[in-house]
Chains A and B, each alone.
Chain A
């Protein structure tokens, strides 16, 4: 369901901006305008805590004077402000250096087909109704077990937005999309033994959200499972990344094969195209046209057509992740990834989570990671972790206050198995990942 009238309103503003850029002498320009409206409510200890009405808009323009570039943005769409914004971008472009690689995408790569991706499902819900869902969810979590001792509350968020993008090559397209979520966080235990965990569900269509009961129960179960956590002694052992943590591992891989890291030579996967970077059973592909999915888009943030394609097959890197600029810097062609990937999918294996635990046999299951200890240049990896110690495929006890460390290059090569317990809550779709061995530091 798309409100064409609203899309056209935004298109008019974008066109006005592009015209103004031409007027001010730019040889090329692109502009994006987005409007987002939303409602967030939170409830804590059985009562409403916050009600927030969101209303955001932003417009940005990039102008080219030959191969000099400048950008500017504003949230004020009055005619005067748009003129000033273009002027600011033009002024910056005058001071920028000539950059042989800068410019608009090649016209023939721009998207020409715009299938309905089923992304827009506004949630007809008012603050009262949203509050009652949040209260129900939190009540279920708090009432789940008497060891649940406190709460950070539950929240319901609903957002609906319109986004239009255009450039001076004649591209002018827009679409609407929605995004809703339900989340909850509770505490168990007291004093030094206190633990907290959370769960959330997110979807384009509210009908696809987990129920208040499901989210509440999962929140309580996850929190209770952490009670009486202990550290581990320093050791080497196999590590299973739960699916919600595995996406971070794949995210680090994506960062390393992205054009920006490659042309800056700040990647641990430099010059690895057409070489083995993962075990031969691994396939990673992009699915931009999945209906209703969180990462779906028929064009990227430059208007370039997206494509369903393999990035890794048989463990071999088949394609980098490129925008027009980074592709030109590398002497390649854009892959339609300006602004990121679209439903990046790691082909699931045959084991469910229980099967993955059996494969792990004895080792560490990681369910939470802390800090940013990933060096993109060298691949050195060292992060705080918590999770569970597993023996013979059975969870023994929760662990905390440990770190896990290794180097991403060898971690990726040493993936033993990938589960079919895929986490669909993000733009990276992956099941749990079992690594042969990592260094654990603890007590």
Chain B
């Protein structure tokens, strides 16, 4: 069955609605002059399993559905949602939200509606991809294999999560589009003790796939091995240095630098409003000419990928920075219209109960030409940061942070001792101008990123090659 038909069936028909009912709600929304209107239907299935202390500790399952109704007039938005997908309720929501429209333009402009787009993932239900016993067996095997790796292991925690999300988006131009989005995630955390010192290591991954993802290439067990390795490194870690120094970032997940330092600052809403440190700077140099950064929602099976965004726009590979020059912003429909540019497929929302806004998908830097070893060798004294926890940015001042979870000192061109986790802080608009070497080892992260903005969480990806930054403040304790 074609996707649209399948989703229409699973969201509308089961609730006794037909596509004509969507037309009635849309007609109610369009009874006043508006620039845009949409109805977003969603049905989500979610499960999680966790293992701790060597036993299957917890499992949970949830089913949620609902619809959100939105009208936009100029820069004004009216929004209501309900968990009851019923015609009278949707009509009432439509009547409530259109009150925001005092004057507006009737949506006359012909909008190009994409008819088809590549399918970046299969419309699978990951919850059904293994039977429950097989999920339990997988967790138990990962737990026991991980525990064998080191006698200092005191506790292992393994979690397995899957979501199966169907969305149906009706726009004021009469278009009706659907997407079915699987997402799986696994995580292993290890606590290790030696001579009274206790440290942890954590590793995970996932993507828009089903549980078979973790069985391919030995991934599930590799997470366990990597978590153990990180805990081992941390047991040896000494005080981190404090102060401004050369920092080499490893490939992959350290791309969170790009997400925080420049990604958020390049989201369309902040730039339309002029509240971002990057506002009005398209065409200007914001990075060294070694840097080309894209936001690409079209990567097959990645955690941050989407066939279409939550406004029905097919995702794109958007060049943000090309050879150091700022090229453009990430846009949803509202901000694109107000800025006179086209949407880039970055309109995302956490659920039907949230308003869409410009969000990242998979944000990464393209590879350069340097050999990673040569980059390390070029540093007399500095920090090599291989793994990170989370980060945060103040998009107005441009100041951003991200915290290392695996880092080493570089002394005379060699990686020497591991150091404890430390926060790195810098200034978004100039940090990339200090990039003096870019490795040829571009890698994407393992599929663990979740981005928060205005209280809404969405899955994202990041990536980068090894990077050398001439001067970043490292927040250790060793002054």
- Interface residues of A, Cβ cutoff 8 Å to B: 44, 47-58, 60, 69-76, 81, 84-85, 88-89, 91-93, 95-99, 127, 150, 152, 187, 192, 194-196, 226, 229, 231, 234-236, 264-266, 270, 370-373, 375, 377-378, 380, 382-384, 386, 400-407, 439-443
Assess A75 versus B200: contact at CB under 8 Å? Given A52-B80, A441-B476: no
Tell me the chain B residues, 49-69 only, with Cβ under 8 Å from chain A: 49, 52, 55-66
Choose, from B373-381, B398-406, B439-447, the stretch at the interface.
B398-406
Asked if B173 CB lies within 8 Å of chain A CBs, one says: no
- Which applies to chain B's interface (DSSP): helix, strand, loop or mixed? strand
CB-defined contacts of B425 to chain A, threshold 8 Å: 370, 384, 401-403, 441
Complex contact B198–A378 (CB within 8 A): yes
Q: 21 A–B contact pairs at CB < 8 A?
A: A44-B75, A48-B100, A51-B78, A55-B83, A60-B62, A72-B62, A73-B60, A75-B83, A88-B61, A89-B61, A93-B59, A229-B397, A234-B242, A375-B420, A375-B421, A377-B199, A382-B422, A383-B423, A439-B475, A441-B474, A441-B476
CB-defined contacts of A403 to chain B, threshold 8 Å: 242, 401, 422-425, 473-475
Complex contact B355–A236 (CB within 8 A): no
**A236–chain B nearest beta-carbon distance, Å:** 5
CB-defined contacts of A93 to chain B, threshold 8 Å: 59
- Interface residues of B, Cβ cutoff 8 Å to A: 49, 52, 55-66, 75-83, 93, 96-97, 99-100, 132-133, 135-136, 154-155, 157, 191, 193, 198-200, 240, 242-244, 273-275, 277, 353, 355, 389-394, 396-403, 420-427, 429, 473-479
Complex contact B100–A95 (CB within 8 A): no
Of the candidates B77, B392, B399, B475, the one having the most CB atoms from chain A within 10 angstroms of its own CB is B475
A386–B475 Cα gap in the complex (Å)?
13
Assess A401 versus B479: contact at CB under 8 Å? Given A49-B77, A55-B80, A383-B401: no
Complex contact B475–A48 (CB within 8 A): no
A264–B114 Cα gap in the complex (Å)?
51
Task: Report the nearest B residue to A58, measured CB to CB.
Answer: B64
A50–B425 Cα gap in the complex (Å)?
33
Assess A92 versus B473: contact at CB under 8 Å? Given A53-B79, A441-B242, A442-B244: no
A265–B473 Cα gap in the complex (Å)?
32
Complex contact B155–A264 (CB within 8 A): yes
Of A51, A72, A377, which is within 8 A of B198 by CB?
Answer: A377
CB-defined contacts of A404 to chain B, threshold 8 Å: 475
Task: Report the nearest B residue to A270, measured CB to CB.
Answer: B198
**B17–chain A nearest beta-carbon distance, Å:** 15
Q: A234-B242, A264-B155 are in contact. List 5 more A-B contacts (CB 8 A).
A: A49-B77, A52-B80, A70-B59, A99-B55, A405-B475
Complex contact B199–A378 (CB within 8 A): yes
Task: Report the nearest B residue to A380, measured CB to CB.
Answer: B420
A269–B39 Cα gap in the complex (Å)?
50
Complex contact B59–A265 (CB within 8 A): no
Assess A52 versus B397: contact at CB under 8 Å? Given A91-B132, A402-B425: no
A164–B208 Cα gap in the complex (Å)?
36
Complex contact B426–A48 (CB within 8 A): no
**A141–chain B nearest beta-carbon distance, Å:** 14
A400–B399 Cα gap in the complex (Å)?
8
A57–B353 Cα gap in the complex (Å)?
11
**B102–chain A nearest beta-carbon distance, Å:** 9
Assess A264 versus B83: contact at CB under 8 Å? Given A50-B76, A187-B396, A406-B477: no
A383–B277 Cα gap in the complex (Å)?
21
Complex contact A97–B55 (CB within 8 A): yes
Complex contact B75–A49 (CB within 8 A): yes
A196–B270 Cα gap in the complex (Å)?
12
CB-defined contacts of A50 to chain B, threshold 8 Å: 76-79, 355
Of the candidates A74, A75, A196, the one having the most CB atoms from chain B within 10 angstroms of its own CB is A75
User: Which 4 pairs across A and B sit closest by C-beta, in order of nearness?
Assistant: A403-B475, A384-B401, A97-B55, A92-B59
**A298–chain B nearest beta-carbon distance, Å:** 27
**B42–chain A nearest beta-carbon distance, Å:** 11
CB-defined contacts of B400 to chain A, threshold 8 Å: 370, 384
- Which applies to chain A's interface (DSSP): helix, strand, loop or mixed? strand
Of A97, A377, A384, which is within 8 A of B191 by CB?
Answer: A377
Assess A54 versus B63: contact at CB under 8 Å? Given A49-B77, A152-B275, A371-B401: no
**A435–chain B nearest beta-carbon distance, Å:** 13
Assess A52 versus B83: contact at CB under 8 Å? Given A234-B479, A382-B421: no
**B20–chain A nearest beta-carbon distance, Å:** 23
Complex contact A187–B275 (CB within 8 A): yes
Assess A92 versus B479: contact at CB under 8 Å? Given A378-B199, A383-B423: no
A231–B274 Cα gap in the complex (Å)?
24
A319–B427 Cα gap in the complex (Å)?
43
**A150–chain B nearest beta-carbon distance, Å:** 6
CB-defined contacts of B154 to chain A, threshold 8 Å: 265
Complex contact A195–B397 (CB within 8 A): yes
**B80–chain A nearest beta-carbon distance, Å:** 4
A53–B193 Cα gap in the complex (Å)?
51
A60–B407 Cα gap in the complex (Å)?
42
CB-defined contacts of A405 to chain B, threshold 8 Å: 240, 242, 422-423, 475-477
A231–B242 Cα gap in the complex (Å)?
14
**B386–chain A nearest beta-carbon distance, Å:** 16
CB-defined contacts of A72 to chain B, threshold 8 Å: 60-62
Complex contact A71–B355 (CB within 8 A): no
Complex contact B58–A96 (CB within 8 A): yes
Complex contact B100–A51 (CB within 8 A): yes
Complex contact A92–B423 (CB within 8 A): no
Assess A371 versus B402: contact at CB under 8 Å? Given A56-B83, A264-B157: yes
A81–B84 Cα gap in the complex (Å)?
13
Complex contact B57–A99 (CB within 8 A): yes
A266–B77 Cα gap in the complex (Å)?
45
Task: Report the nearest B residue to A233, measured CB to CB.
Answer: B243
A93–B132 Cα gap in the complex (Å)?
11
Of B96, B200, B242, B353, which is within 8 A of A377 by CB?
Answer: B200
CB-defined contacts of A55 to chain B, threshold 8 Å: 80-83
A383–B79 Cα gap in the complex (Å)?
37
CB-defined contacts of B78 to chain A, threshold 8 Å: 50-52
Task: Report the nearest A residue to B60, measured CB to CB.
Answer: A71
CB-defined contacts of B353 to chain A, threshold 8 Å: 54, 56
CB-defined contacts of A441 to chain B, threshold 8 Å: 242-244, 425, 473-476, 479
Of B83, B390, B427, which is within 8 A of A76 by CB?
Answer: B83
Assess A96 versus B57: contact at CB under 8 Å? Given A264-B52, A401-B473, A441-B473: yes
**A436–chain B nearest beta-carbon distance, Å:** 14
Complex contact A53–B80 (CB within 8 A): yes
Of the candidates A88, A378, A384, the one having the most CB atoms from chain B within 10 angstroms of its own CB is A384
CB-defined contacts of B479 to chain A, threshold 8 Å: 234-236, 439-441
Task: Report the nearest A residue to B100, measured CB to CB.
Answer: A51
Complex contact A96–B56 (CB within 8 A): yes
A95–B283 Cα gap in the complex (Å)?
58
A406–B243 Cα gap in the complex (Å)?
14
CB-defined contacts of B242 to chain A, threshold 8 Å: 234, 403, 405, 439-441
CB-defined contacts of A89 to chain B, threshold 8 Å: 61
**B59–chain A nearest beta-carbon distance, Å:** 4
Of B60, B277, B476, which is within 8 A of A382 by CB?
Answer: B476
A19–B65 Cα gap in the complex (Å)?
24
A25–B277 Cα gap in the complex (Å)?
60
Complex contact B63–A81 (CB within 8 A): yes
Complex contact B473–A443 (CB within 8 A): yes
Of B99, B191, B390, which is within 8 A of A372 by CB?
Answer: B390
Complex contact B475–A194 (CB within 8 A): no
CB-defined contacts of A44 to chain B, threshold 8 Å: 75, 273
Task: Report the nearest B residue to A62, measured CB to CB.
Answer: B60
Task: Report the nearest B residue to A263, measured CB to CB.
Answer: B53
